[in-house]
Structure 1
Amino acid sequence: MWVFSSTCRCGVRRVIPSWVGATRMAASTGAITKDTPPNGRAAGKNVSGPKVNGRSRSETPSWHPGTATFSSLSDTTVTSKSTIATGTDGSSTSPRLPHHSQPLGFPLPEDEHACSVSLPTWSAVVGYEEGDPTTVQAMKCGYPRFVYHPYVLQLMEYVLETHGHPHEDCLVLPSANAAIRCRSFLQQAVENKPPRVDNALLEKIDGWPSGGGTGDYRNTDIRLVRVGAADVHAVIFPAETLAGTQAKSYWQHGGEVVSSRRAARCLHDLGVGLHSRITDGAWICHDMMPQSDTAPDYLRRQIARWAKVPSADSVFLAPSGMASIYTALRSARRYQMEKGPNATGGTSIVFGFPYLDTLKLCSRDELCPGGVEFFGHGDAQDLDSLERLLRTKGKNAVCAVFTEVPSNPLLQCPDLYRLRQLADEYDFLLVVDDTISNFLNINVLESGLADVICSSLTKLVSGRGDAMAGSVVTNPHTAGGRWMQRDLAQYYDETSHGGLYEGDACAMVQNSQDFVSRNAVINETSEALASWFQQHGDVEKVYYPKLVSTRDHYEAVRSGGYGGLMSVVLEPHMCQRTFYDALNVAKGPSLGTNFTLVCPYTLLAHYHELDFAMSYNVQPNLLRIAVGLEPLEVLQDKFEEAFTKSRLHPKLDI
Structure 2
Amino acid sequence: MAAVLSPPASTKMPALIPLGASVPALTAHAISVSLPTWEDNIGYEEGDQRVVGKMETGYPRFFIHRSIQKLAKLCLAKFGKPDELCILLPSPKVAGEGRDFLSSQNPPIQSRIVEFVICPSSISIIDTSNKQALGGVDCIELQILLFDKSNWSFGKAFWQHSGDGICSRLAERGLAFLGELPAGSENNNNNKQQSPIQTPTLERPPSKAPSTRNRHYSRRADSIPSTPITPSTPSTSKLINDDAPVEPVKEEALTSDLTTYLEERYGRNLPLFNAPLAKQALKRRIAGGLLPSDEGYGTVDDVARGAGSGSGKKAVTEEEVYLYPCGMSAIWHAFDIARTARRRKGEKEGKSVCYGFPYTDTLKILQKWGPGCHFLGAGGTEDIPALERLLEDSKNNDIPILSLFCEFPSNPLLRSPDLVKIRQLADKYGFVIVVDETIGNFINVEVVEFADIVVSSLTKIFSGDANVMGGSLILNPNSPIFEDLKAAQTEIYEDNYYPEDAVYMERNSRDYRGRIKRVNDNAYDVTDYLFKRSLSDTSSPSEGKVIKRVYYPRFQTPETYAQAQRLPPTGKGGFGGLFSITFTSESASKAFYNTIGCAKGPSLGTSFTLASPYTILAHYLELDWAASHGVERGLVRISVGQEDEQILKNWFETAVKAAEDAGRNENGQ
Q: Structure 1 length as normaliser, TM-score?
A: 0.76
Contact 1:573 1:649 in 2 (8 A): no
- How far apart are the structure 2 equivalents of 1:292 and 1:573? 48
**What code does the residue aligned with 1:114 have?**
A
Q: CA deviation at 1:164?
A: 2.0
Which residue number corresponds to residue 63 of structure 1?
Answer: none
Contact 1:538 1:574 in 2 (8 A): no
Which residue number corresponds to residue 610 of structure 1?
Answer: 623
Q: CA deviation at 1:179?
A: 1.1
Which residue number corresponds to residue 265 of structure 1?
Answer: 173
Which residue number corresponds to residue 603 of structure 2?
Answer: 590
Cα offsets for 1:28-69 (capped at 9, x unmatched): xxxxxxxxxxxxxxxxxxxxxxxxxxxxxxxxxxxxxxxxxx
Contact 1:592 1:626 in 2 (8 A): yes
Pairing 1:241–2:248 present: no
**What code does the residue aligned with 2:285 have?**
Q
Q: CA deviation at 1:576?
A: 1.6
- How far apart are the structure 2 equivalents of 1:624 and 1:463? 17
Pairing 1:223–2:113 present: yes
Q: Secondary structure at the match of 1:479?
A: coil
Which residue number corresponds to residue 28 of structure 1?
Answer: none
- For residues 169 and 572 of structure 1, do their structure 2 counterparts lie closer, same or farther at Cα, with a shift above 3 Å needed? closer
Q: CA deviation at 1:236?
A: 3.6
Which residue number corresponds to residue 351 of structure 2?
Answer: 347
**Which of 581, 586, 589 is the aligned partner of 1:576?**
589
Pairing 1:277–2:283 present: no
Q: Secondary structure at the match of 2:650?
A: helix
- For residues 82 and 105 of structure 1, do their structure 2 counterparts lie closer, same or farther at Cα, with a shift above 3 Å needed? farther
Q: CA deviation at 1:626?
A: 0.1
- How far apart are the structure 2 equivalents of 1:650 and 1:642? 14
**What code does the residue aligned with 2:103 have?**
Q
- How far apart are the structure 2 equivalents of 1:83 and 1:586? 22
Q: CA deviation at 1:271?
A: 3.0
Q: CA deviation at 1:482?
A: 4.1
- How far apart are the structure 2 equivalents of 1:387 and 1:408? 24
Which residue number corresponds to residue 41 of structure 2?
Answer: 125
Pairing 1:87–2:7 present: no
Contact 1:396 1:426 in 2 (8 A): no
Structure 1 segment 494-533 matched on structure 2, within 5 A: 497=495, 499-533=496-530
Contact 2:99 2:111 in 1 (8 A): no
**Which of 230, 233, 251 is the aligned partner of 2:159?**
251
**Which of 327, 333, 341 is the aligned partner of 1:327?**
333
Which residue number corresponds to residue 485 of structure 1?
Answer: 486
Structure 1 segment 438-457 matched on structure 2, within 5 A: 438-445=441-448, 448-457=449-458
Contact 1:182 1:235 in 2 (8 A): no
**Which of 313, 316, 338 is the aligned partner of 2:319?**
313
RMSD (Å), alpha carbons: 2.5
Contact 1:387 1:422 in 2 (8 A): yes
**Which of 282, 287, 295 is the aligned partner of 2:263?**
287
Which residue number corresponds to residue 462 of structure 1?
Answer: 463
- For residues 520 and 82 of structure 1, do their structure 2 counterparts lie closer, same or farther at Cα, with a shift above 3 Å needed? closer
Which residue number corresponds to residue 535 of structure 1?
Answer: 532
Identical amino acids, percent of aligned pairs: 37
Q: Secondary structure at the match of 1:402?
A: strand
Q: Which runs of 5+ in 1 are unaligned?
A: 1-80, 92-98, 194-219
Which residue number corresponds to residue 243 of structure 2?
Answer: none
- For residues 453 and 187 of structure 1, do their structure 2 counterparts lie closer, same or farther at Cα, with a shift above 3 Å needed? same
**Which of 354, 362, 365 is the aligned partner of 2:366?**
362
- How far apart are the structure 2 equivalents of 1:482 and 1:443? 22
- How far apart are the structure 2 equivalents of 1:221 and 1:507? 34
**What code does the residue aligned with 2:607 have?**
N
- How far apart are the structure 2 equivalents of 1:486 and 1:565? 36
- How far apart are the structure 1 equivalents of 2:8 and 2:92? 42
- How far apart are the structure 2 equivalents of 1:621 and 1:84? 36
Q: Secondary structure at the match of 1:169?
A: strand
Structure 1 segment 67-106 matched on structure 2, within 5 A: 86-89=9-12, 91=13, 99-106=14-21
**Which of 29, 52, 55 is the aligned partner of 1:139?**
55
Q: Secondary structure at the match of 2:40?
A: helix
- How far apart are the structure 2 equivalents of 1:635 and 1:286? 38
Contact 1:319 1:500 in 2 (8 A): yes
**What code does the residue aligned with 2:24 have?**
P
**Which of 90, 94, 101 is the aligned partner of 1:185?**
101
Q: CA deviation at 1:258?
A: 1.3
Which residue number corresponds to residue 662 of structure 2?
Answer: 648
Which residue number corresponds to residue 227 of structure 2?
Answer: none
**What code does the residue aligned with 1:565 have?**
L
Q: Which runs of 5+ in 2 are unaligned?
A: 120-138, 186-194, 199-232, 241-260, 265-269, 290-302, 306-314, 534-544
Cα offsets for 1:563-609 (capped at 9, x unmatched): 10000112459722122111111011000001100011000010110
Contact 1:183 1:222 in 2 (8 A): yes
Contact 1:159 1:227 in 2 (8 A): no
Pairing 1:423–2:426 present: yes
Q: CA deviation at 1:168?
A: 1.9
Contact 2:585 2:634 in 1 (8 A): no
Q: CA deviation at 1:648?
A: 3.1
- How far apart are the structure 2 equivalents of 1:532 and 1:481? 44
Q: Secondary structure at the match of 1:432?
A: strand
Q: Structure 2 length as normaliser, TM-score?
A: 0.75
Which residue number corresponds to residue 302 of structure 1?
Answer: 285
- How far apart are the structure 2 equivalents of 1:109 and 1:232? 30
Cα offsets for 1:384-412 (capped at 9, x unmatched): 11111110110762221000000000000
Contact 2:275 2:503 in 1 (8 A): no
Cα offsets for 1:414-449 (capped at 9, x unmatched): 00011111111111110000111112111122xx31
Deviation larger for 641-650 or 108-117: 641-650
Contact 1:84 1:629 in 2 (8 A): no
Deviation larger for 460-469 or 393-402: 393-402
Contact 1:173 1:257 in 2 (8 A): yes
Structure whose CA Rg is larger: 2
Contact 1:413 1:553 in 2 (8 A): yes
- How far apart are the structure 2 equivalents of 1:586 and 1:354? 24
Cα offsets for 1:448-490 (capped at 9, x unmatched): 3111111000000110000011010110111223432332133
Which residue number corresponds to residue 637 of structure 1?
Answer: 650
- How far apart are the structure 2 equivalents of 1:277 and 1:322? 27
Q: Secondary structure at the match of 2:631?
A: coil
Q: CA deviation at 1:642?
A: 1.8
- How far apart are the structure 1 equivalents of 2:316 and 2:379? 31
Q: CA deviation at 1:85?
A: 6.6
**Which of 129, 146, 168 is the aligned partner of 2:84?**
168
**What code does the residue aligned with 1:266 have?**
G
Which residue number corresponds to residue 159 of structure 1?
Answer: 75
Which residue number corresponds to residue 73 of structure 1?
Answer: none
Q: CA deviation at 1:611?
A: 0.7
Q: CA deviation at 1:277?
A: 2.4
- How far apart are the structure 2 equivalents of 1:334 and 1:613? 32
- How far apart are the structure 1 equivalents of 2:560 and 2:493? 33
- How far apart are the structure 1 equivalents of 2:440 and 2:15? 25
Contact 2:5 2:518 in 1 (8 A): no
Pairing 1:552–2:559 present: yes
Cα offsets for 1:107-162 (capped at 9, x unmatched): 00020000000000011011000001111111111000001111100110121122
- How far apart are the structure 1 equivalents of 2:523 and 2:483? 35
